[in-house]
Chains A and B, each alone.
Chain A
């Protein structure tokens, strides 16, 4: 019933508009087409000016309403560079935006058709054209220069002491692998993937580097102020590791590993205090369309102190021992303990 009323009201509104439009056409015929054209010209000229003024006020109003809803200060070293570049670009483009929009609407209003106004024959002017070729070129060169400088800093090689963590996307969740004490991620092969045999990552057990690798899902832990290098892959389709608070992003491509490094600078606990939100967590969002669960492909990053991190790590058992309980000294007496398969938790 409600839908019916909405449709009826829309139809009615349309019929009224249409009748007015038709009537205005008759009026134009009666009053003389030229005269009514001049009148609408005045109205539209005025509206253009009004649009400019209301629009610029709207831009300020919009900023007031939304500026606190965008993310606060970046939580990584690279994020600071990204934000700095963003605000420099914003400052320059905003000036250009305001000037050109004012020129556009003001010229339109000022030079609207008038009785004794003659248009000015002005087909070209080489000097003017040179000026507005060179100025944008210089401005953009500066932006390119800064941009590339920061880009190489961000994408450059990771520091030697960076901890490697493997991040793997799949429909629709995240898996992580830590290298363990030897600091080396063991080799893997996708045909070894076998969650039923507790080998969800496809690790090659013959590689001794794999014996201490820790496997976890959905939640990644990082140490504050310690550089980390993510080694990123995907199992099925392309995903993307989106870290909004760290201002970083990298695709997860099946068959082609990618990397990204950064240093988290604010712990989750500190961020909770800063934002006043006790439920705050750093989130990993999938930013590359990956199927029907794309919008819910959420992971969590906990940034914590070294002690907290060590304690968390100590509670984890290497996946090698989970998959091969016979090799595990702690379960040797109790061979009946079957590995519990870990299932992906997807929200909704």
Chain B
């Protein structure tokens, strides 16, 4: 199986290296329609980065409007034409930006870009398999994702603009073409893109589950799996069970839009036109959406949690504290994730009794989350911590997870949610706990496994600048935003000057905008560092640069398709034997000694 891997730099195929000697595979089958899990992982990562730049840029654009509602930016008109007439972002454009920003970052970046990348890269490498259970399905998973991206991208360029009903795409707004420009063809394209995306997630998820269950190497029992693998496992289960529900919701919505059905429509007079539909329920869609939408939060968070656990342990040179408790809490989170969706719907007229049940279940999720936080803290306690960029991002993740998790206790309590629902408080909450925190997990993963992916290191100085600016920026942007929410400022208001109750935050909005531009610029620096280091980074000279225990570091520096040149190594212990019996680290492949102490 081993082949001479020549140039991993050109992993995605933009690179013209036909000339290099491939004995078995052509350029296309190696870099484009590749069935090697590592290459597919890189494809997910790089596509995710492209989408992150687009989604991030959109947020900068609408932050400009929020921070400087009176100022004109002629350059915007140059680029966006009538969408930014007179250099000012028009409301339709604003809502298009908000919608695509949310969709792209939640689904394309933090779902596909995060678990697509690391599930693909890490599952076979860390469990000791040569590839995924079905490499072909794995390849299809990427290409469905790619296709979804193309459709979503094309929706930005249609004449009436992209979907603009918010990333949740609630009907009737999203079901009625008469309701606005963004509800025309843009919404159809959005729905089709999401359907393709869901197919991609399902193909990937099924593959991850069967690979983890069936293809572990000898000795790799389930309780010897590294925590990222457990996290990917729960993530895949969540995705496989919940994404089909969104798919059905999206298909019903397509029917309502195009075939005259009334699943979500009833009693509607839009733009002076009385529609014939009666008997549908607009709230039904919200149930279908949030039945995915809430597990989705954990689909995004769990892989980050898993990778952070691994990286904290490696960096602290100390076993992860409470491995079984970590598993148990992830399991609890995965179960509860399915039982809390209606906490997004406390003010929809939900039966108050049902609401109270969801309050209980929602706040229950704080218990396993608290266990995880305390276990991470204890992992750092009395360690010997090396602050690699990955370690810093992992520490940053824990800090953000605490901050954002605690504000969840406000929102999960329906009494408080009545006031805070759909305000900037919610925006601040989920950006910290789900958005930025998961990004930190992703950055930690990229810095940590970059040597495995490309055989080179990223530049450390740029990485440290990246961390500190992003960390400070995240708090500067989102911490004060909670106060706007406490004042009742609703989400998605592009100008608050006309309001007596909400117009007192002009200075704050300016500050947030300036900081977010700086933070965005620093992310571009990260992207530069990433691509530059693929070609010019310092070369890795040892197979195990972080002195870690897991199996991926027993492969060659640039592993070929099949990962291990010879036999797949056998596993004899759990992955967290750091600092045991006075030894810094003991790889999983090392047999247990006769007089070794038990843990």
> Complex formed: what's the CA distance from A108 to B392 in Å?
9
> Complex formed: what's the CA distance from A233 to B461 in Å?
57
Give the interface segment out of A119-127, A207-215, A312-320, A335-343: A119-127
Number of interface residues of B (CB under 8 A): 132
- Judge if B422 is at the interface, Cβ distance under 8 Å: yes
> Complex formed: what's the CA distance from A45 to B416 in Å?
38
Number of A-B contacts (CB under 8 A): 383
- Judge if B270 is at the interface, Cβ distance under 8 Å: yes
- Judge if B459 is at the interface, Cβ distance under 8 Å: yes
Query: Are A285 and B179 also in contact (CB < 8 A) when A24-B460, A86-B416, A111-B381 are?
Result: no
A180 CB to nearest chain B CB (Å): 23
Interface contact B508-A154, CB-CB below 8 Å: no
- Judge if A326 is at the interface, Cβ distance under 8 Å: no
Interface members, chain A 243-294 (any B CB < 8 Å):
244-245, 247-251, 253-259, 277, 279-281, 283, 285-294
> Complex formed: what's the CA distance from A37 to B389 in Å?
11
- Judge if B241 is at the interface, Cβ distance under 8 Å: no
Interface contact B501-A237, CB-CB below 8 Å: no
Interface contact A111-B380, CB-CB below 8 Å: yes
Interface size class of A (residues with CB under 8 A): 35 or more
Interface contact B374-A66, CB-CB below 8 Å: no
B158 CB to nearest chain A CB (Å): 17
Interface contact A193-B269, CB-CB below 8 Å: yes
Give chain A residues whose Cβ lies under 8 Å from the Cβ of B281. Answer: 255-256
* Residue of A with least CB distance to B465: A17
Give the interface segment out of B32-40, B126-134, B362-370: B362-370
> Complex formed: what's the CA distance from A250 to B345 in Å?
10
Interface contact A256-B491, CB-CB below 8 Å: no
Interface contact B580-A152, CB-CB below 8 Å: no
- Judge if A81 is at the interface, Cβ distance under 8 Å: yes
- Judge if A132 is at the interface, Cβ distance under 8 Å: yes
Interface contact A348-B319, CB-CB below 8 Å: no
- Selected contact of A143 from candidates B271, B321, B363, B521, CB within 8 Å: B363
Interface contact B508-A40, CB-CB below 8 Å: no
- Selected contact of B395 from candidates A18, A21, A104, CB within 8 Å: A104
Interface contact B179-A171, CB-CB below 8 Å: yes
- Judge if B274 is at the interface, Cβ distance under 8 Å: yes
Give chain B residues whose Cβ lies under 8 Å from the Cβ of A133. Answer: 367, 370-371
Interface contact B579-A119, CB-CB below 8 Å: yes
Interface members, chain B 391-430 (any A CB < 8 Å):
392, 395, 398-399, 402-403, 406-407, 409-410, 413-416, 418-419, 421-423
Interface contact B461-A105, CB-CB below 8 Å: no
A50 CB to nearest chain B CB (Å): 10
Among A10, A190, A202, the most chain B Cβ lie within 10 Å of the Cβ of A190
A282 CB to nearest chain B CB (Å): 8
> Complex formed: what's the CA distance from A108 to B490 in Å?
38
- Selected contact of A22 from candidates B266, B459, B465, CB within 8 Å: B459
Give chain A residues whose Cβ lies under 8 Å from the Cβ of B493. Answer: 294-295
> Complex formed: what's the CA distance from A347 to B496 in Å?
11
* Residue of B with least CB distance to A92: B409
- Judge if B287 is at the interface, Cβ distance under 8 Å: no
> Complex formed: what's the CA distance from A343 to B274 in Å?
18
- Residues 304-348 of A, flagged 1 when their CB comes within 8 A of B and 0 if not, give 000000000000000000000000000000000000000000011
Interface contact A148-B366, CB-CB below 8 Å: no
> Complex formed: what's the CA distance from A200 to B570 in Å?
76
- Judge if B480 is at the interface, Cβ distance under 8 Å: yes
Give chain A residues whose Cβ lies under 8 Å from the Cβ of B180. Answer: 171, 291-292
Interface members, chain B 340-365 (any A CB < 8 Å):
347-349, 352, 355-356, 359-360, 363-364
Give chain B residues whose Cβ lies under 8 Å from the Cβ of A140. Answer: 363-364, 366-367, 409
Q: Could you show 16 A-B contacts with beta carbons less than 8 Å apart?
A: A14-B521, A37-B386, A82-B415, A86-B416, A104-B398, A107-B381, A118-B582, A121-B318, A123-B599, A132-B370, A133-B367, A193-B274, A244-B488, A249-B418, A289-B165, A289-B173
Binding site for B on A (CB under 8 A): 3, 10, 14, 17-18, 20-22, 24-25, 28, 37, 40-41, 44-45, 47-48, 51, 55, 58-59, 62, 66-67, 69-71, 78-79, 81-82, 85-86, 89-90, 92-93, 96-97, 100-101, 103-105, 107-108, 111-114, 117-125, 128-129, 132-133, 136-137, 140, 143-144, 146-148, 150-152, 154-156, 170-171, 190-191, 193, 195, 202, 232, 235-238, 240, 242, 244-245, 247-251, 253-259, 277, 279-281, 283, 285-296, 298, 347-348
- Pairs A-B, 4 closest by C-beta atoms: A244-B488, A255-B266, A258-B349, A119-B579
